[in-house]
Chains A and B, each alone.
Chain A
């Protein structure tokens, strides 16, 4: 039995060298994706999107619905046109919010 053979277990357990960080951490941080917005910002964005959607709906949905109904009276009844207008006006800020959320990840 050789010395190497005897000392295998000891050699395997020898501590590994501690590698100096140098610029390693800095390089990793430089490659991270853009900073996510804080939760408070997200809440304000959500509240703003909801408020904007509501305001746009209140102001523009009835005339937009009427306009849609007058343009295509044979396809969309007035009530359906108004509903469609409401959906569009609510979805635009909502989709913007979802887009912003995804872009953060």
Chain B
């Protein structure tokens, strides 16, 4: 006769309470409401809720856009040290142009990182591939002069903690991206040697990525993310890269 039973009684009272409460608030539970009353109630609620949603959207719009800009900049600065300004571009078959609100069909978005004097410090772009749990989204830095990847950072991942997320912290793995070869073939239409993720400890050529032992799936996702993205971006970007240096 105590706590437990009393809480059962309490719940029971709450259940009985439904009918009582309806009596209290004056709606008779026996007579059904007319369609007009129901529609008016739903219309009223929809109007109020619509107003609340739209105004909260309007109020947060600037802050959200600003946050997105800051997080992009932070990610780009991480892979391109020394940069102080990020500009968004799209590379199309016709050339390079500043990114508008929408990315045109067949175009690839990338970031140009500039230092304070307005010199091009490097190019960054995003790559995505399916990892073990979910998409692994990464950002890599590309040096057009040497035609190599010079840095990689994971933007979002939901991999197993302690296993898949080693791609963020593992120093040896990150060394793969200090000078990863992505040279274009002579016709500038494709990458000469596709990036390949190899078993831990067997990296021999500059376009190979040495996987982390025990983290093969996520290592491969990072490699595939870079490979897919560079294959699309570089043939459009490199022939026109001189234009980026002229900006400003």
Chain B associates with chain A: no
